[in-house]
Each structure stands twice: as structure tokens, then as C-alpha cells.
């Protein structure tokens, strides 16, 4: 076919625009568009055709390469922890900890060990919401001088199951039901609670997942845990048991379930956006690294087994020693190349850290490698840049899919003389990893020790350690979840088991469901006919204990900072500039972020003629995206804001969600116009019955800024919940 050429009819409008732009921003040395083989491309807009309106030609190698790459640019998403966000940073220990471990990154305070940390939800797909009620993954990759160390954990210190052999069943149960792929990223359905009700070992973690910890305010405000019991080994060969903890410097904070549902509709990327924006704006995310250490001689002194991943060591029994700090300060350059391709593995260890015989951990050692082989295309996933160690790497692993290392030399085996014996084995005193010489005894069995069968004591400990609002939230969450279960027999089994944890809680849930707690369901509960028949479903009630663990309650978290908290200012034309500026200065000096929300975008005019930029209009701002609200004075401003019904809804939701509210001057009228019950007897002073409702009718923002800051730092005034439920419309 004869190739035709376009007629020279002058420059197109598109070309004129491009040339004009080039004249304005010349960049003759800029990067050129190329193929994957480096061939420079002059037209990435039009495919090669047989005539302007003719068919595309097979010889267009650039089109074929580009489309082929696009067709294959998605890899299988993770079966669990599919939806994630990540950041780079560093870890630094506070002092030498050589008495505990010989791990270099934990013994040399001068080292700044690079890290890559990925946060995630567990049950949902990549496209699900950040705000699902779920466990949050907290996986840390340390690029140490001795190799990669992966601390693969969650924001909850226990797991649903005790043995890895149950993991596929558990995940199948919590995932969307196979007949209709519903519901997405939710545990409120029959198959999940069927599994839970037949596996009482899950009850401890269920309490955690139904608590406020499962709907955090931010990734930056969650704890992290290694879950399993590991070993520390020092240079002398002494071993100790250890549990790993991450403690957020901002404290632990959550959102309400009602907020979570609304945030999912308003901004399903809420957590990912928060982490990204914080770092992009020059901020950091910080945690302290803590360890609980148990001497080997004390291994059996507890009422529970240290190898049981459904149990914690209460911090009141073994305090957490804070030995270092994790700082995240750099966002990934490319989500796919880094966040999506990063491969964690609990078997990536360094000298000084080793395993225990935790049966869940042992199964994970196989599972992670097997998963990466499928997800990342073969055995060379460790060569992907985000997964490469920063220390030298020498071995005889060769070839395979996507091999990227060109290995010179004649020898690819050990031992050898052809290659001078290299790479050679190292002795322990040369920094080699040597597995701890743990004594082993006993017959080969499928089973577990008696301590593994207490499924209720720690579930009760967790519930009893919560504050009253937190207990109410757990009760409400279980009522909601079980209300979505269609099979009555499953609900009855759950109520029966929950009553063994706390009878009052179970009765409240039953009342909310219009049911009663069964007195007995023997014969319908025990579905285990294996070696543990009759043990897994032990249903002795837990005796009410006076022992509680304050560390388990979020009521006792850090509440002395408002750093990075987002504060909404509702204002319109005519706003009191002095009050707005004074409150903004007070809040931002404490590290908070202020956003002006107005009836319209652009700018608003201040009372002294100034132009104030608007961050959001009432049309695209939602109260659930902010931690507190301030309404400055100015009669015209308040009238303009009040004229938009969304402002009243904004205030009502802030109150309903127990957040701090402040107003000065005429701004108080917006509170009165809402459904918020304000104590007018206070006559312009702070309402003592609600320390998170702060007003000053004379318009002086400086008088109330300190009280407002204190109220925001408290995160919520939970005492308001009962009032809000009765008075604030949904």
C-alpha cells in the first residue's frame, strides 16, 4: 500500500499551542520520550496508519510495546492487606542494647537505619475504603548493615487463630461470600460469624476489632505489634523472649463508626491522603519502638502460653521498654514500584533476633515466600529495588524469571575451588546468623498444650479494661455486626459465647437484636471432631476479675498535643479578622492545620477589608474530615454561613461526634441556630457542663484559645454521646 502524507495546509491549532509553550519554557536538555529499549520517540500521540483515516499498521512497534506493557502492568493484588500506603524513613535506637541483642541496628545509637513502612487494611480489596472496620497492617522493612529485617505486624497485638493451618479458612470466612462477592471489606456477614462462633479462640481478637482501635483517626495514630513472641540473642549467646511494640508519639485516636461510614463516602482515601499530605507538607510520622522482655526461666510463669498468638502479656506484668524511634519523612516516588511491589517476610532476620515455636509464626514463614513467587512473578523478587538489601549480597542463586543481576565467574555452587571458594560460609564471630540452639523434645503430634484452650479470660480482660464509652462502642459494634447476620443459629451461638466474656454486654446486644441470650446450645456448638474435640469450645464463664490493664484503653493515650489536627473555621464575608487571625495563630503555633470554609470558594472579605483565602466551600467540605470547628464573629459573616443549611448540619455533626467546638462574638449564634444544647446561663463563658463547647460572646478569641487547644487535644468529649444521640438529628 502506498503511504499517503498529510497535505501541508499550515500549522494545526494543537501544534501552535505546543510551540508557544515551548517558547515560554525552553528545555533543550530535558528528558526525551523513548521506548523501553531507549529509542527516542517523536510522536506519542498518533499510531502509525495506512492513511490518515486508514487502519493501524502491525509494524508500529511503539504502539505494540506501549499497549502490551499496559495490558500486563497489573500484578495480582495481595490476598490480604491489598489496600495499603507507605513511606520511607529511618530508625535510630536510643542507647546500646547489647545486653539484650547483638542486632547492630539496635545496639549502635549512632546508626540511622533506613526503613520502608507499609500500612494496610486486611480484608478489603485495593479499591475498598480506608475506613472499613478492620485490622491495620503495620509492616516495617529495616535495611540494616547486616541484611533485611522485616517486622511484619498489625495494629492489634493478637491474632484470630492459634495455628497457621486455620489461616485459609479464616480468610475465606471473612472475605466476601463466594456466591455473590458481598460484602466488600466487612466482617458483618454470616460466614465470618459462623467461623467465629465455631472457633472460640477468635474471641479475644474479636473484642479488639469491635473496639475503636479498628477505625483509627490516622495511620499516624495507631500502635503496632509484632504479634508473635520472638527471641533476642546477645553476643554471649543468651536468649530471652521478646514482644515488639510501636507506640505513636501522637497517641492513639479513632473515629466513630458513624463518622467512618460517612468518611468512606466523602473521602475513601482518608488515611492514605493523611499520611501522604503530612509528609508532603514537611511533617513526619513518629513511633517509639518498645520491647517486652521475658527471661527464659520465666517462660511458664504465666496463666497463658507465650507461644499463643491469641494472647498478650499485659504491660502491667511486663512493662514495655522504649529503646528507639521510628521516623517517616519521605513519600514514595512511585506507588507501584515501591508500595505495591514491596515484599515483606517474617523470615527475614538479622543476627540477634530469632523465632520461637509459635505455630502461627511457623506457618507464616512458608506462606510469605510462596505468595511473593506468585504475586511478583518468580524467585527474583528480592532484586526489585524496594526489596534489595543495602548491604553486599553474594550467593549462588541463579537464573529464574526476571533475573537482574549479571553474575560473573565460573562457579555457581558451594563448595568450590574454581571460584576460590567464594562465596564462602562465615563463622558466627564473623557476623553470621546462627539459629538459636533450642532444646526440643516430645512426640510428633497434632495438638497444643492445655494453656492454649483458655479462650475467654483475655477477651474479658480487654473488655473490662475499656472505659465506659469504649465498652459502649464495642457493644454497639457487635449489635450492628450481628444484626447483619441472617442465620439465627449463628447469632445464638455468638450471644452464648459473648455471655461468657461479659453477661451484661451480651444481654445488651441481644436486646438490640430483639433476641435473648441462650442458656445452652451444647451439641450445636462443638463442630470439631479431631484431636481437640470438646476442648476448642470450652464454655466455662470467666470469673469477674478485679485485674484490669489500663494500657489496653485508648482513654489513657497521649492527649497533650494537637499537632497535625485539622481545624475547620466557618466564615463568610464580613468575618471578624482579628478573631480569625488570633485563633489561627494560636492553633498553628501548636502544629494544627487550619482550613477556612465559606459559603463560596475563592476569597472572603474581612471586617477590615482584608481578603482571606477560602480552602473549602460548604459544598465540598464535610465535618467528618475535621477534628474541631471554630466560628469567628462578624454579623454579616455568621448570617452568610447560617443561610446555608449545610453549616447547621456541619455543626450538628461536630457535636454528635463529640468534637471540640468554639465560637466568639456573633459566631455563638450559629451554635444557637443548631440542635446543640448550650447552657445560656453561662452568659458567654465556657459551658462547664461541656468542656469541649467553648464560647466567648465578646469576640475575644485569645481568651478561649488555650481552652480550645486543650479540648482538641482530648480528642473527644465522650460524655456528650448520650445527649447527642437524643437531641441531634441523623
**Which residues share a beta bridge with 230?**
242
Query: Which one is catalytic: 62, 88, 97, 154?
Result: 154
Element at 67 (helix H, strand E):
helix 61-71
C-alpha dist (Å) from residue 271 to 136, 184, 277 = 11, 18, 10
Within 10 A of 243 (CB to CB), how many other CB atoms are there? Answer: 22
512 domain residue, yes or no? no
Domain containing 35 equals 13-71
Whether the pLDDT of residue 536 is over 90: the answer is no
Whether the pLDDT of residue 438 is over 90: the answer is no
Domain count, the chain: 3
Q: What is the average per-residue pLDDT within 549-557?
A: 96
Please report, rounded to a whole number, the percentage of residues in the chain having pLDDT higher than 70: 91
Burial of residue 148 (number of CB atoms within 10 Å: 0-12, 13-18, 19+): buried
Q: Which three cell numbers stand for residue 164?
A: 497457621
Please write the tens of the pLDDT for every residue from 129-168. 999 999 999 999 999 999 999 999 999 999 999 999 999 9
E-only strand ranges, 340-459: 353-354
Count how many Cα atoms sit within 13 Å of the Cα of residue 715 in the half-sphere of its side chain.
20
492 domain residue, yes or no? no
Q: Which three cell numbers stand for residue 562?
A: 494537637
Whether the pLDDT of residue 3 is over 80: the answer is no
| Three-state secondary-structure class, residue 47 | coil
Residues 23 and 131 reside in one and the same domain: no
| Three-state secondary-structure class, residue 85 | strand
pLDDT score, position 11: 37
79 domain residue, yes or no? no
178 domain residue, yes or no? no
Does residue 13 have a cis peptide bond before it, meaning omega lies within 30 degrees of 0? no
Tell me the CATH number at 661.
3.40.50.880
User: Helical H runs in 451-604?
Assistant: 457-465, 468-483, 488-501, 503-513, 577-588
274 domain residue, yes or no? yes
DSSP code, position 232: E
Whether the pLDDT of residue 620 is over 70: the answer is yes
Q: Which residues contact 698 (CB under 8 A, 6 or more apart)?
A: 664, 665, 684
399 domain residue, yes or no? no
Q: What is the average per-residue pLDDT within 593-609?
A: 97
Q: What is the average per-residue pLDDT within 474-486?
A: 98
Residues 568 and 644 reside in one and the same domain: yes
User: Helical H runs in 99-241?
Assistant: 104-107, 167-174, 190-197, 203-209
Q: How would you list the strands of the sheet with 566-570, edge to edge?
A: 616-617, 593-598, 566-570, 628-631, 660-664, 693-696
pLDDT score, position 404: 87
Q: Are 724 and 658 in contact (CB under 8 A)?
A: yes
Q: Which three cell numbers stand for residue 558?
A: 497521649
pLDDT score, position 413: 86
Q: Are 423 and 396 in contact (CB under 8 A)?
A: yes
Residues 578 and 697 reside in one and the same domain: yes
**Cβ-defined contacts of 377-381 (< 8 Å, 24+):** 377/75, 377/401, 377/402, 378/402, 380/404, 381/341, 381/343
Nearest to 201 by CA among 314, 345, 305: 305
Q: What is the average per-residue pLDDT within 87-94?
A: 98
Please report, rounded to a whole number, the percentage of residues in the chain having pLDDT higher than 90: 73
Whether the pLDDT of residue 6 is over 50: the answer is no
Q: Which three cell numbers stand for residue 178?
A: 463466594
Tell me the CATH number at 34.
4.10.91.20
Residues 18 and 114 reside in one and the same domain: no
pLDDT score, position 566: 98
Tell me the CATH number at 125.
2.40.180.10
Q: Last residue of some domain: 47, 71, 95?
A: 71
pLDDT score, position 440: 81
617 domain residue, yes or no? yes
597 domain residue, yes or no? yes
Residues 65 and 145 reside in one and the same domain: no
How far apart CA 656 and CA 693 sit, in angstroms, is: 12
Residues 108 and 40 reside in one and the same domain: no
Please write the tens of the pLDDT for every residue from 242-271. 999 999 999 999 999 999 999 999 999 999
Cα–chain-centroid distance for residue 583?
32
Of residues 724 and 690, the one with the higher pLDDT is: 690
Count how many Cα atoms sit within 13 Å of the Cα of residue 20 in the half-sphere of its side chain.
7
Least confident of 169-178, 245-254, 327-336, 529-538: 529-538
Q: Which residues contact 523 (CB under 8 A, 6 or more apart)?
A: none
Q: What is the 3-state secondary structure (H, E, C) of 589-618?
A: CCCCEEEEEECCCCEEEECCCCEEECCEEC
Q: What is the average per-residue pLDDT within 505-529?
A: 83
How far apart CA 51 and CA 634 sit, in angstroms, is: 67
- Angle formed at CA 259 by CA 257 and CA 265, multiple of 5 degrees: 110
What is the sign of the dihedral through the CA atoms of 300, 301, 304 and 310?
A: negative
DSSP code, position 176: P
DSSP code, position 433: -
pLDDT score, position 366: 83
Residues 570 and 692 reside in one and the same domain: yes
Average pLDDT, the chain: 90
Whether the pLDDT of residue 17 is over 50: the answer is no
pLDDT score, position 219: 98
Q: Whats the size of the chain, residue-wise?
A: 730
pLDDT score, position 544: 64
Residues 588 and 699 reside in one and the same domain: yes
Kindly indicate the confidence band of residue 412, based on its pLDDT and cuts at 50, 70 and 90: confident
| Three-state secondary-structure class, residue 170 | helix
Burial of residue 304 (number of CB atoms within 10 Å: 0-12, 13-18, 19+): middle
Please write the tens of the pLDDT for every residue from 109-123. 999 999 999 999 999
pLDDT score, position 687: 59
Q: What is the average per-residue pLDDT within 682-690?
A: 61
Residues 237 and 358 reside in one and the same domain: yes
Q: Last residue of some domain: 353, 387, 421?
A: 387
- Full DSSP string of 246-274: EEETT---B--HHHHHHHHHH-TTHHHHH
Q: What is the average per-residue pLDDT within 610-634?
A: 97
How far apart CA 685 and CA 458 sit, in angstroms, is: 45
pLDDT score, position 529: 47
How far apart CA 530 and CA 299 sit, in angstroms, is: 28
Does residue 322 have a cis peptide bond before it, meaning omega lies within 30 degrees of 0? no
Most confident of the following: 66-70, 106-110, 428-432: 106-110
How far apart CA 225 and CA 245 sit, in angstroms, is: 5
pLDDT score, position 520: 86
Q: Are 356 and 306 in contact (CB under 8 A)?
A: yes
Q: Last residue of some domain: 356, 387, 418?
A: 387
Whether the pLDDT of residue 711 is over 50: the answer is yes
Q: What is the 3-state secondary structure (H, E, C) of 281-304?
A: CCCCEEEEEEEEEEEHHHCCCCCC
* pTM of model > 0.95: no
Count how many Cα atoms sit within 13 Å of the Cα of residue 652 in the half-sphere of its side chain.
15
Nearest to 485 by CA among 128, 187, 207: 187
Element at 646 (helix H, strand E):
helix 645-656
Does residue 415 have a cis peptide bond before it, meaning omega lies within 30 degrees of 0? yes
Cα–chain-centroid distance for residue 524?
37
Q: Are 525 and 197 in contact (CB under 8 A)?
A: yes
Place of cell 466476601: 176
Q: Which three cell numbers stand for residue 42?
A: 517523536
Question: Active site includes 81?
Answer: yes
Please write the tens of the pLDDT for every residue from 27-84. 566 788 898 888 998 988 899 989 988 888 889 988 888 888 888 888 899 999 999 9
Residues 40 and 106 reside in one and the same domain: no
Residues 144 and 261 reside in one and the same domain: yes
Of residues 430 and 94, the one with the higher pLDDT is: 94
Whether the pLDDT of residue 673 is over 70: the answer is yes
Residues 304 and 348 reside in one and the same domain: yes
Q: Are 216 and 177 in contact (CB under 8 A)?
A: no
Q: Which three cell numbers stand for residue 47?
A: 499510531
Amino acid at each position: 500500500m502506498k503511504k499517503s502524507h498529510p497535505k501541508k495546509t499550515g500549522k494545526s491549532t494543537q501544534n501552535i499551542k505546543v510551540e508557544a509553550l515551548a517558547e515560554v519554557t525552553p528545555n533543550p536538555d530535558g528528558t526525551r520520550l523513548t521506548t523501553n529499549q531507549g529509542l527516542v520517540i517523536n510522536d506519542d500521540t498518533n499510531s502509525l496508519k495506512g492513511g490518515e483515516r486508514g487502519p493501524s499498521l502491525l509494524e508500529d512497534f511503539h504502539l505494540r510495546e506501549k499497549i502490551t506493557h499496559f495490558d500486563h502492568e497489573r500484578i495480582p493484588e495481595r490476598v490480604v492487606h491489598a489496600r495499603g500506603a507507605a513511606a520511607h524513613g529511618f530508625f535510630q535506637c536510643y542507647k546500646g542494647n547489647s545486653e539484650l541483642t547483638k542486632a547492630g541496628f539496635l545496639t549502635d545509637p549512632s546508626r540511622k537505619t533506613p526503613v520502608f513502612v507499609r500500612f494496610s487494611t486486611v480484608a478489603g480489596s485495593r479499591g475498598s475504603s480506608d475506613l472499613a472496620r478492620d485490622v491495620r497492617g503495620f509492616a516495617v522493612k529495616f535495611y540494616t548493615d547486616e541484611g533485611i529485617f522485616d517486622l511484619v505486624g498489625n495494629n492489634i497485638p493478637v491474632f484470630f487463630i492459634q495455628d497457621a493451618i486455620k489461616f485459609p479458612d479464616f480468610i475465606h470466612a471473612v472475605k466476601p461470600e463466594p456466591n455473590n462477592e458481598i460484602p466488600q471489606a466487612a466482617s458483618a456477614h454470616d460466614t465470618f460469624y459462623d467461623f467465629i462462633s465455631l472457633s472460640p479462640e477468635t474471641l479475644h481478637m474479636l473484642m479488639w476489632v469491635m473496639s475503636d482501635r479498628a477505625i483509627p483517626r490516622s495511620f499516624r495514630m495507631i500502635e503496632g505489634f509484632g504479634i508473635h513472641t520472638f527471641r533476642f540473642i546477645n553476643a554471649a549467646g543468651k536468649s530471652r523472649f521478646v514482644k515488639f511494640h510501636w507506640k505513636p508519639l501522637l497517641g492513639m485516636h479513632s473515629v466513630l463508626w458513624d463518622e467512618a461510614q460517612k468518611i468512606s463516602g466523602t473521602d475513601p482515601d482518608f488515611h492514605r491522603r493523611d499520611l501522604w499530605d503530612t509528609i508532603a507538607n514537611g511533617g513526619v510520622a513518629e513511633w517509639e519502638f518498645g520491647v517486652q522482655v521475658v527471661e527464659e526461666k520465666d517462660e511458664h510463669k504465666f496463666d497463658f502460653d507465650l507461644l499463643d498468638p491469641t494472647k498478650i502479656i499485659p504491660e502491667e506484668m511486663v512493662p514495655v521498654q522504649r529503646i528507639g524511634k521510628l521516623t517517616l519523612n519521605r513519600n514514595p516516588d512511585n506507588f507501584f514500584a515501591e508500595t505495591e511491589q514491596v515484599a515483606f517476610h517474617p523470615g527475614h532476620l538479622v543476627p540477634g533476633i530469632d523465632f520461637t515455636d509459635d505455630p502461627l509464626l511457623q506457618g507464616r514463614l512458608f506462606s510469605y515466600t510462596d505468595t511473593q513467587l506468585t504475586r511478583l512473578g518468580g524467585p527474583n523478587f528480592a532484586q526489585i529495588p524496594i526489596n534489595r538489601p543495602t548491604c553486599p549480597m553474594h550467593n549462588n542463586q541463579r537464573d529464574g524469571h526476571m533475573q537482574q543481576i549479571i553474575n560473573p565467574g565460573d562457579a555457581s555452587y558451594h563448595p568450590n575451588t574454581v571460584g576460590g571458594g567464594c562465596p564462602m560460609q562465615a563463622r558466627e564471630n564473623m557476623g553470621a546468623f546462627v539459629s538459636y540452639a533450642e532444646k526440643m523434645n516430645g512426640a510428633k503430634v497434632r495438638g497444643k498444650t492445655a494453656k492454649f484452650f483458655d479462650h475467654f479470660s483475655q477477651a474479658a480482660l480487654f473488655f473490662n479494661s475499656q472505659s465506659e464509652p469504649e465498652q459502649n462502642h464495642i457493644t454497639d459494634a457487635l449489635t450492628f455486626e450481628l444484626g447483619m447476620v441472617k442465620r439465627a443459629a449463628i447469632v445464638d451461638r455468638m450471644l452464648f459465647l459473648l455471655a461468657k466474656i461479659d453477661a451484661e454486654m451480651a444481654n445488651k446486644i441481644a436486646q438490640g437484636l430483639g433476641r435473648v441470650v441462650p442458656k445452652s446450645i451444647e451439641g450445636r456448638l462443638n463442630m470439631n471432631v479431631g484431636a481437640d474435640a470438646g476442648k476448642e469450645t470450652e464454655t466455662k464463664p470467666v470469673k469477674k476479675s478485679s485485674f484490669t490493664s489500663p494500657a489496653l484503653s485508648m482513654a489513657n493515650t497521649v492527649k497533650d498535643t494537637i499537632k497535625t489536627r485539622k481545624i475547620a473555621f466557618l466564615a463568610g464575608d464580613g468575618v471578624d479578622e482579628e478573631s480569625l487571625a488570633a485563633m489561627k495563630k494560636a492553633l498553628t503555633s501548636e502544629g494544627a492545620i487550619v482550613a477556612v470554609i465559606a459559603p463560596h470558594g475563592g476569597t472572603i472579605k474581612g471586617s477590615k477589608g482584608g481578603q482571606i483565602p477560602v480552602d473549602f466551600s460548604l459544598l465540598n467540605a464535610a465535618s467528618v474530615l475535621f477534628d474541631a470547628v471554630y466560628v469567628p464573629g462578624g454579623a454579616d459573616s455568621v448570617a452568610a454561613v447560617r443561610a446555608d443549611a449545610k453549616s447547621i448540619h456541619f455543626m450538628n455533626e461536630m457535636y454528635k461526634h463529640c468534637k471540640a467546638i468554639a465560637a466568639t462574638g456573633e459566631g455563638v449564634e450559629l451554635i444557637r441556630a443548631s440542635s446543640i444544647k448550650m447552657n445560656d446561663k453561662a452568659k458567654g463563658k465556657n459551658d462547664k457542663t461541656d468542656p469541649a463547647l467553648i464560647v466567648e460572646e465578646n469576640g475575644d478569641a485569645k481568651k478561649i484559645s488555650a481552652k480550645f487547644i486543650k479540648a482538641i487535644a482530648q480528642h473527644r468529649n465522650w460524655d456528650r454521646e448520650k445527649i447527642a444521640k437524643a437531641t441531634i438529628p441523623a
